[in-house]
Structure 1
Amino acid sequence: MSQNKYLWMENYPKRVRPNLSYPDIPLYALVEQSTEEYPTQTAVTFMGKKLTYSQLWQQICQFAAALYSLGVRKGDRVAIMLPNTPQAVIAYYATLKLGAIVVMINPLYTERELEHQLKDAGAKVLVYLDLVNPRVKKVRRNLPVKSYIVTSIKDYLPFPLNLLYPIKAKKEGHNLHVPAEEAVKFTKLLSQNLPDPPEVEIDPAEDVALLQYTGGTTGVPKGTMLTHLNLIANTMQTREWYTQCVEGKERVMGVLPFFHVYGMTTALNFSNAVGGELILIPRFDVKTLLTELQKHKVTFFPGAPTIYVAVNNYPEVSKYDLTSIRACISGSAPLPVEVQQEFMRLSGNAALVEGYGLSEASPVTHCNPLDEGNNIGSIGFPFPDTVAKVVDPADPSKEMPVGEVGELIVRGPQVMKGYWNKPEETAQMIKDGWLHTGDMARMDEQGYFYIADRIKDMIISGGFNIYPREVEEVLYEHPKVQEAAVVGIPDSYRGETVKAYLVLREGEEATEKEIRKYCEERLAKYKIPRTLEFRSELPKSTIGKVLKRVLIDEEKEKLAG
């Protein structure tokens, strides 16, 4: 056990139990239980279309029966390549109902990425959107997939949007027609099957529910095996942390994509666990988001820093009433202090706090308290039943003293079973039951944890260790800066040097000299960016994480050229 284990317990949120008991049920049972308790309440809202819990559960069972008729059995992999739509929710829980394994795929994936993931997972079925059929078609002959199921955004749009959508898509150059010999229609499968799939025995602690592929920014994407218990535990931990939660009354914003486990846990699974109404947004658009937040009086709004940045900087944000929001947990990337404070000012009473996690932990391991003791700049305390410590990266048996930086390692019921078909990588990541995050962190005297940076992101310049996040925080404080990313680029003299990429606020202008002078007043000389580049936007993943690897690769190409 960690010698500093109880430091955070002395300051733990008073209304949060540090130890929980987790139900011995499969993940889909969360929806089944909410259906029994709130059958007529709205479970899902999609662009005006609503499904009650009993309607949702019926369609989950119908689709499970359909998958069974296509030969899907326990342990088979079903790939779902959909944005946040009712079909994604239905296909997800229907797959789990059969004891099959969900493989979520980003609909924006290229043919190469799509082929790698489907082949690596050995997917038997692919449920996908008509819009991506051209990409699917190009790789079909190389895939292990036996059955293709196609659906369209219009399938769950209310009248008259369902009639207008194909016209708009055609104007934008999309061909939505998928021949019957290429794929069976999602809606046809539902209509052809009764809601009576076979009962399948599932061991929540052992049986894998999800293959969550890691982003691949640091290498080839790997399938993280998350069990039913892993995902139930993290959902229950989130529920416990959100102390203001009112069962059967929550309205949860589903803007984070469900093909990322962060959106899956904090929006999809959480909402269904508490009998909430899940408001689905298939594609991030700040005006649509603000409209839906106000219209549905959203109470719980998990997001990523870039989403809150977009809200803060929307020119007409003051026209929207955001006061229904009680809590927001920000994840996937560091939350700049300025962004946090501005959003809390705009929303009036919303608690926006930074959390931390990784795909290998379902994903949340840490979070700041939502109703007390929010420590700005920190990732907060470990979740219930989660133990964390900071160790020497060169010797993980050696724990770092309070306040000193080392590698963050964690242990808890949400930690993955391992990587799919990769025992060696699993052994490198999990040692003696501890998950090695690869992130550099420190813990203060009160037990709050702080991420310094990823081990791979740390810049070593002239013998000095520089953590990009520290430099980024200073840049975000500049009144003209909207977004900032800091990376280390090769330097013949220092080994590496600091480069900053900046996106300025709309209508603002700034010079390198001006930004550098600002940094000189706030940073040690060796930390000040030696190079600055102004951009209209930064490369990002679908969940809003800045892809620093892309920036570094660009620099390497410049040097090579």
Structure 2
Amino acid sequence: MNTQLTDLARRPAVPADLAGDEPTVPTLTGLLAERARDAGDREFLRFGECSWSFAEIDEWTSRLAHRMRELDGVRAGDRVAIMLTNVVHWPVVWLATLKAGGVAVPVNCGYQRADLAFVLSDSGARVVFTDAERADLVADVVAGEELGEVRVVDVADDGSEGFPVTPPAVDVAADTLANLQYTSGTTGFPKACMLTHGYWVRLGWICAATTGLGLDDVLLTSQPFSYMDPQWNTALALTVAAPLVVLPRFSASTFMADVRDHRATFFYVLGSMPTLLFKQPASPEDRDNDLRMVLCSGIPVALHAQLQERWGAPWREVYGMTESGIDLFSPFDDADAVGSGSLGHPVPTKQVRVADPADPQVEVPDGEAGELVVAGVPMMSGYWNRPDATAGVLRDGRLHTGDLVVRRPDGGIQLVGRIKDMVRRGGENVACAEVEAALERDDRVVAAAVVAVPDDLLGEEVKAFVQLRDGVPASRDTAQQLLERAGAQLARFKVPRYVEFVADFPRTASERVSKPALKTRASEQPGATYDFARPRS
């Protein structure tokens, strides 16, 4: 049975009615110092069988910050790159960098020479913290690209022993730059969002208020720490003084067992993760957990109620971007949100508009598709070294998200697709996300990705890449059955003409399908593609 703490036994760290207030502590370093004072002995970080208290992490990060300043010459505003897997050293180096007055540059561990060289050069990193597995690659890139005096530090011996356990005398404020957070862009090299201390603190504050998490909770994350989700989970843990469990990676086959074993009460998943979890074999132990709530970006509409029923906790949608942190959420007491497809309503610190993509000054009527435009805090300061790109998305203080949405009759916002993730078939626009959702409602489908392919007459046609569950034949008959079922939910022109079955999908660090990589793979290693040509219309 799902053991849930009663409301009377719980005290939210941030009451819901304070979500729009200023956080009581303006910086991440200040937040860690406060937790070390008022909850020093409490568990903060748990990696595998090892855990560290708030006080232990506070002292470790202070020692390492002194090392950075005295041995590596890190000064205010200097960039410190972190290329590590999900090990405790990741958040330690991050927080130590901020204590030293530096700016953290998370680096995806999957990067090879070209991507790594770009990030180190673009950010102007002065120091790189990494491990033995990647140290040679980093050193080769630094030498080969003539990046100058870039120090490479192996975290196995971070050199912090012997330094003071009190933090260096460095002034930081809410508007002090904390991160250059490179986005997993779909084309070309990524852009770095400039994120301040205030961004992270505000994000943790709002998430604490919207969830009601408190001292008795246990948070869990499995995404790579170079991506922002484990980082805002860290800010959330600091806000509510609760432990954060960090898994080495996301594994659909073991994730819920880890949730149960660590007695986690809260986690966040996104992209294809909910579908992959649900399509694991059901177990009598599914509801034997301590879960109280789940936040998710991309809850499959058709599975929403079943996800809740299977694991015995409410799942609610939350929407945000690296550029803006958190924008929309569905309250946990809103039962009408289940299976509605709604992204929810704006958090108290955000204002949203649904704008005409052709004329952003014009707001479209309810029920019509437009671009989601967001204002308020938290918000990035802009893109590092990219004034033109910044001007393209931040106009008059409003972020143009590139997402197509509609405003529902209840005022909630529903996602239609990406402006750039569309198939323009003749005179019709097809939102890839809508077609993918229709295909993924079939129990035989693990995941689907829809792309545009050239067509001599219509300009573009709709192609679906489909990953099937084990044991389902990758045959033309299966493809036809999937299209017939999806076709009952879609307009005729949206039904894919082409279907190609795949064993898996290339994915970004945020567990989203990388469509550019998928197209490249299909071009270089084409699989059997079934063509369901229909009369031209």
Pair in the same fold by TM > 0.5: yes
Q: For the residues of structure 2 that align with 1:280 and 1:519, how far apart are their CA atoms?
A: 37
Q: For the residues of structure 2 that align with 1:351 and 1:552, how far apart are their CA atoms?
A: 36
Is 2:225 the counterpart of 1:258? yes
The corresponding residue for 1:271 is: 237
Does the 8 Å CA contact 1:17/1:384 hold for their aligned counterparts?
A: no
Q: For the residues of structure 2 that align with 1:119 and 1:250, how far apart are their CA atoms?
A: 41
Q: For the residues of structure 2 that align with 1:479 and 1:89, how far apart are their CA atoms?
A: 39
Does the 8 Å CA contact 2:66/2:163 hold for their aligned counterparts?
A: yes
Compared CA separation, residues 287 and 534, structure 1 to 2 (3 A): closer
Aligned to 1:64, what secondary structure does the other structure show? helix
For residues 1-30 of structure 1, the C-alpha deviation after alignment (integer angstroms, 9 at most, x for no partner) is xxxxxxxxxxxxx95556322335222222
Aligned residue type for 2:62: C
The corresponding residue for 2:387 is: 423
Compared CA separation, residues 525 and 444, structure 1 to 2 (3 A): same
Pairwise CA distance, 1:288? 4.4
Q: Choose from 305, 329, 343 the match for 1:379.
A: 343
- TM-score for both structures, normalised by structure 1: 0.86
Pairwise CA distance, 1:345? 2.2
Q: Choose from 111, 114, 138 the match for 1:112.
A: 114
For residues 321-352 of structure 1, the C-alpha deviation after alignment (integer angstroms, 9 at most, x for no partner) is 55311111113xx332234333222211x121
Pairwise CA distance, 1:50? 1.4
Q: For the residues of structure 1 that align with 2:35 and 2:25, how far apart are their CA atoms?
A: 16
Q: For the residues of structure 1 that align with 2:331 and 2:449, how far apart are their CA atoms?
A: 27
For residues 152-187 of structure 1, the C-alpha deviation after alignment (integer angstroms, 9 at most, x for no partner) is 5xxxxxxxxxxxxxxxxxxxxxxxxxxxxxxxx22x
For residues 40-89 of structure 1, the C-alpha deviation after alignment (integer angstroms, 9 at most, x for no partner) is 11111111111111111111111111111121111000111112221111
Q: Following superposition of structure 1 onto structure 2, how do residues 119-268 of structure 1 map, counting pairs within 5 Å?
A: 119-141=121-143, 142=145, 143-144=147-148, 146-152=150-156, 185-186=157-158, 189-205=159-175, 207-243=176-212, 245-246=213-214, 248-265=215-232, 267-268=233-234
Aligned residue type for 2:369: V
Q: How many residues align?
A: 504
Does the 8 Å CA contact 1:305/1:336 hold for their aligned counterparts?
A: no
Does the 8 Å CA contact 1:242/1:370 hold for their aligned counterparts?
A: yes
Q: For the residues of structure 1 that align with 2:342 and 2:187, how far apart are their CA atoms?
A: 24
The corresponding residue for 2:266 is: 300
Aligned residue type for 2:163: N
The corresponding residue for 1:171 is: none
Q: For the residues of structure 1 that align with 2:27 and 2:20, how far apart are their CA atoms?
A: 21
Q: For the residues of structure 2 that align with 1:474 and 1:444, how far apart are their CA atoms?
A: 20
Q: Choose from 504, 507, 519 the match for 1:540.
A: 507
Q: Choose from 239, 243, 257 the match for 1:291.
A: 257
Compared CA separation, residues 556 and 292, structure 1 to 2 (3 A): closer
Aligned residue type for 1:227: T
Q: Choose from 498, 502, 511 the match for 1:531.
A: 498
Does the 8 Å CA contact 2:320/2:328 hold for their aligned counterparts?
A: yes
Q: For the residues of structure 1 that align with 2:174 and 2:510, how far apart are their CA atoms?
A: 28
Q: For the residues of structure 2 that align with 1:389 and 1:322, how far apart are their CA atoms?
A: 42
Aligned residue type for 1:149: V
Task: Point out the more displaced range, 248-257 or 405-414.
Answer: 248-257
Q: Choose from 395, 401, 405 the match for 1:437.
A: 401
Q: For the residues of structure 1 that align with 2:149 and 2:210, how far apart are their CA atoms?
A: 40
Q: Following superposition of structure 1 onto structure 2, how do residues 361-372 of structure 1 map, counting pairs within 5 Å?
A: 361=324, 363-372=325-334
Aligned to 1:359, what secondary structure does the other structure show? coil
Aligned to 1:290, what secondary structure does the other structure show? helix
Pairwise CA distance, 1:549? 2.3
Aligned to 1:65, what secondary structure does the other structure show? helix
Is 2:308 the counterpart of 1:338? no
The corresponding residue for 2:87 is: 85
Aligned to 1:419, what secondary structure does the other structure show? coil
Aligned residue type for 1:382: P
Q: For the residues of structure 2 that align with 1:421 and 1:544, how far apart are their CA atoms?
A: 27
Pairwise CA distance, 1:149? 1.3
Pairwise CA distance, 1:286? 3.6
Pairwise CA distance, 1:278? 0.9
Question: Gaps spanning 5+ residues in structure 2: where?
Answer: 1-14, 527-537
Q: Choose from 450, 457, 468 the match for 1:486.
A: 450
Q: For the residues of structure 2 that align with 1:62 and 1:431, how far apart are their CA atoms?
A: 42
The corresponding residue for 2:529 is: none
Q: Percent identity?
A: 30
RMSD: 2.0
Question: Gaps spanning 5+ residues in structure 1: where?
Answer: 1-13, 153-184
The corresponding residue for 1:167 is: none
